[in-house]
Amino acid sequence: MKLTPLFVGAFTLALATSASAQTLTIATVNNGDMVRMQGLSSAFTEETGIDLNWVVLEENTLRQNVTTDIATNGGQYDVMTIGTYEAPIWAKQGWLSPLTNLSSDADYDVDDLLPPIRDALSYEGELYAAPFYGESSFIMYRKDLMEKAGLEMPAEPTWEFIGEAARAMTDRANDINGICLRGKAGWGENIAFLTAMSNSFGARWFDENWQPQFDSPQWKETLDTYLSLMADAGPAGASSNGFNENLTLFQQGKCGMWIDATVAASFVTNPDDSTVADQVGFALAPDTGLGKRGNWLWAWSLAIPNSSQNKEAAEQFINWATSKDYLALVAENEGWANVPPGTRTSLYENPEYQEAAPFAQMTLDAINAANPNEPTVDPVPYVGVQYVAIPEFAGIGTNVGQLFSAALAGQMSADDALAQAQEATTRDMTRAGYIK
């Protein structure tokens, strides 16, 4: 892969001399775009003299490590990969350094960041994390298998249609599963998917008095639909599958449909990685006719913990990795279809990107359609589409995720999982003082 020198702007050049001989430790997730960033980062080191020490972790492990480090003021990392859930909560707690230089740098152009993504990463109007890529979720499907089943994907698909299509496309003899969905336990793994799905069924995590709602008919319908769909049309061992596992299955031609992050679109359509690249279609996340679709809003982003001793150099790296110039660098080396999506307005106005990425407009529409302030049908006291933006949610959501994953694995019934989720969440919310 040929790399060319990258002009990183006056902000970078002004800091290069003082930052030389420094080493930054960067914690990130093992998703494809981050792995690509690591591969391209030699351009940053050549330009600035700043060495990079990478800690690349599986999603659940990353969350555990960076949360422990920042909460204990450990100082292990200079740059952390975090999401829209953590950024405002950790900023409020004083754990993150504001990205003031980015906000004032004309070359960086903070106003070019997509408003829903920028707002989700800000606290009291100040940016505390810069988006590396942004996403919502949608349906990725095999057009050839849909046609073989005698079906056509609707413009606005319902969960009923998805169930019909998944079962029709399933071909166990040829190792083809009609649908692949997240089953791995974790508040950012199966709970992200199931919470977004539940919104489309009218379910809520909490009512307006913070009472858990897992004993509601909406949650029962959500979980029953999910478990039945996975039993009839899902892959074996689905309770161990998260984003990366399902991505691999889809790329290998073993999934008729996959409902997950829009960022996967470039990977499933890349002929170098995907055996079905020329057969992939895209559609909106499903609904049930209640006015909400099962799509979420997220950004994997780069932030600086206050415990870092290298904040100036850390912000310099974040400038490089989330800039327009970085997008151009990826385009030059990997093609426009593979640039990190969902962060900048200018990207979606770029004709080269529009031509190279047939999923571009649908991705943008899905991001803009997700409303963290009104995530479901009925009013809620919280913000967040696929999570609840309170500090306690990481623990509570992971606990519920373990119960739902156990139900998927056949270790308990849906009713038992919901009952235990209701009991445990009520206990935790009472202890935390939300329920009086």
358 Cβ contact list (under 8 Å, min separation 6) = 269, 282
Query: What string of DSSP letters covers 272-336?
Result: TT-TTGGGEEEEEPPB-SSS-BS---EEEEEE-BTT-S-HHHHHHHHHHHTSHHHHHHHHHHH-G
Residue written as token pair 């480090």: 69
Q: How far is CA 80 from the centre of its chain?
A: 15
Q: How far is CA 138 from the centre of its chain?
A: 12
pTM here is 0.91
Secondary structure class of 227 (helix, strand, coil): helix
CA–CA separation, 2 vs 334, rounded Å?
10
Specify the pairing of strand 122-123 against strand 126-127.
Answer: antiparallel
Instruction: Give, for all 436 residues of the chain, the pLDDT tens digit.
Output: 444 444 344 444 444 434 346 999 999 999 999 999 999 999 999 999 999 999 999 999 999 999 999 999 999 999 999 999 999 999 999 999 999 999 889 999 999 999 999 999 999 999 999 999 999 999 999 999 999 999 999 989 999 999 999 999 999 999 999 999 999 999 999 999 999 999 999 999 999 999 999 999 999 999 999 999 999 999 999 999 999 999 999 999 999 999 999 999 999 999 999 999 999 999 999 999 999 999 999 999 999 999 999 999 999 999 999 999 999 999 999 999 999 999 999 999 999 999 999 999 999 999 998 999 999 999 999 999 999 999 999 999 999 999 999 999 999 999 999 999 999 999 999 999 999 8
